[in-house]
Structure 1
């Protein structure tokens, strides 16, 4: 197939491009900085300079466009960033879809967020309530409104749209910030990890290659609609630290838990129920332990120095 990937310098996009090429597909990568896209000696791979708001380059008749380009504010709590979030993440995504449809692109895949769901104890279904006011509201609202606009546009213009609501994605090539990179840096150097919330913070952690496989399956199997892209399980911070320690062969005693371990208020995010993706797309996400082991086998978990 002929595939187009926006935001091609990003963490997920780079893995998507590599996997798509390995499956024999042709890939056009769109990026603000083409020099930042990993070079590949492959005649089926083309890089084009492009930013949201620019006309799409020659993508006529492509089988699908994977839209990963987005605006992520430095301060998620800054209300002044709301306008930019909606300008790029909602209006920009809709303009890309409109342009893609005009070019005869057959399908549109949008990468949303699984953190748009209303906090709940049970794993979130694709039909669960969405109301992102707990954290990163302006950014998450812009991603959720993009889903609505894209699905409406697709329905009105006979352009199948697939929305993937991503859990917290980790793996080779990710940014050096966040919970897992922090644990890896400390434990790999023999330093202790102190978790001060009693280890109650929880989040669904999904390996980047599982997300990539799901995205490609949606196009290869021609499935539209909303799909959760997570591991299916929420992992708390203390368990995540212990899993990383075990994978690195670090002493378990380096993981120290402080603070209240039980509480009525949920800290973090619920798991994503992935039954729909499993049933319709053959999705088979790995556990966190399996994901950390795969990461270690590929890079030695040395991404962060």
Structure 2
């Protein structure tokens, strides 16, 4: 199988690529991979370091919104796994235009090219943030979209476009929406790596408001296994949730990270809450469990400890990326 992986130098995309090229995903053994990545601040070829010499890897630097480039790259592939996105909520609040261009227009360009060339499978990777916030219970795949941030709104728009290409044109699109991811190679603008790298450097960490926001967490390896299951056997035109089934408040997560890094609460600084901050995310992932046999395998405490250890041991990867 020949796979086109967009955003394959980013956090989740690079993990998927490394997993494919080390034959860690059942059903994708021997697959060839082309990575299409713009290499923005959040994507670095260093994340592909462990598989950079693989003869099954091709790397194409470029923008998914570049229609001519996409048209030249896509035809020789059996499937597209579309991870590429602008994804940081705070950045989208400050300036949303780039999010609209990449997340919506870029997705439309890919869908047009896939339709034109008869691509056999198109997996569009999305997020639980498209649903907004939920007080109790959990969203199903049929829950209405109610995004609150510009980032989430652009992802919701991309989701709807992808599903519309299936309903209108019959393009074999499948959409995934996952819980919050954590693991190695995540850019230090995101909560877990930002807190870890700050603490390792002896700096303080910023906690929004009272830290009572609730998130479900899934290890990136579980997310990529779920994505592979959807790629291989998910029903076209459907949405699949990929959950971790571990809900924590941001304050609880902060306490765990402090313990892992040997730090105390005096290293935590309370900051003004984010505009439009969603209170709680929760996914019902029964569909992917029942249809495709998905189960998260990485126990959270172990996964978090291993993640902290990875950042301790890979300073050369994250230090050039650290933000103030």
Q: For this structure pair, what is the TM-score category when the shorter chain's length is used for normalisation?
A: 0.7 to 0.9
Distance 1:99 1:19 in 2: 26
The residue correspondences of 1:175-214 to structure 2 (distance < 5 A) are 175-188=187-200, 195=207, 197-214=209-226
Distance 2:76 2:206 in 1: 53
Matching residue of 2:281: 270
User: Are residue 44 (structure 1) and residue 56 (structure 2) matched?
Assistant: yes
Q: Does the aligned pair in 1 maintain the 2:134–2:282 contact within 8 Å? A: no
Q: Unmatched 5+ residue regions in structure 1? A: 260-265
Distance 1:164 1:46 in 2: 25
Distance 1:284 1:278 in 2: 6
Change (3 A) 1:210 1:102: same
The residue correspondences of 1:151-190 to structure 2 (distance < 5 A) are 151-188=163-200
Change (3 A) 1:301 1:197: farther
- The two structures have a TM-score, normalised by structure 2, of 0.78
Distance 1:258 1:42 in 2: 45
2:92 to 76, 80, 86: 76
Which deviates more from structure 2 when the two are superposed, residues 30-39 or residues 276-285?
30-39
Distance 1:53 1:267 in 2: 33
SS of 2:96's partner is helix
- The alignment of Structure 1 onto Structure 2 pairs a total of residues equal to 294
Matching residue of 1:3: 3
Matching residue of 1:54: 67
Return the offset for 1:257: 9.8
Matching residue of 1:283: 294
Return the offset for 1:215: 1.2
Matching residue of 1:92: 106
- The C-alpha deviation readout for 1:63-119, integer Å capped at 9, x for no partner, is 2101122245773224x635x433332232122112022223211111212111132
Distance 1:230 1:19 in 2: 19
SS of 1:180's partner is helix
Matching residue of 2:322: none
Change (3 A) 1:182 1:31: closer
Matching residue of 2:228: 216
Question: Over aligned residues, Cα RMSD in angstroms?
Answer: 3.2
Q: Does the aligned pair in 1 maintain the 2:32–2:56 contact within 8 Å? A: yes
2:36 to 30, 51, 75: 30
Return the offset for 1:45: 1.1
Return the offset for 1:190: 6.8
Distance 2:147 2:177 in 1: 13
Distance 1:77 1:297 in 2: 32
Which protein is richer in helix relative to its size?
2
- The two structures have a TM-score, normalised by structure 1, of 0.82
The residue correspondences of 1:90-129 to structure 2 (distance < 5 A) are 90-121=104-135, 122-129=137-144
Matching residue of 1:236: 249
SS of 2:81's partner is strand
Matching residue of 1:143: 155
Change (3 A) 1:32 1:183: closer
Q: Unmatched 5+ residue regions in structure 2? A: 24-29, 272-276, 320-324
Distance 2:221 2:182 in 1: 9
Matching residue of 2:274: none
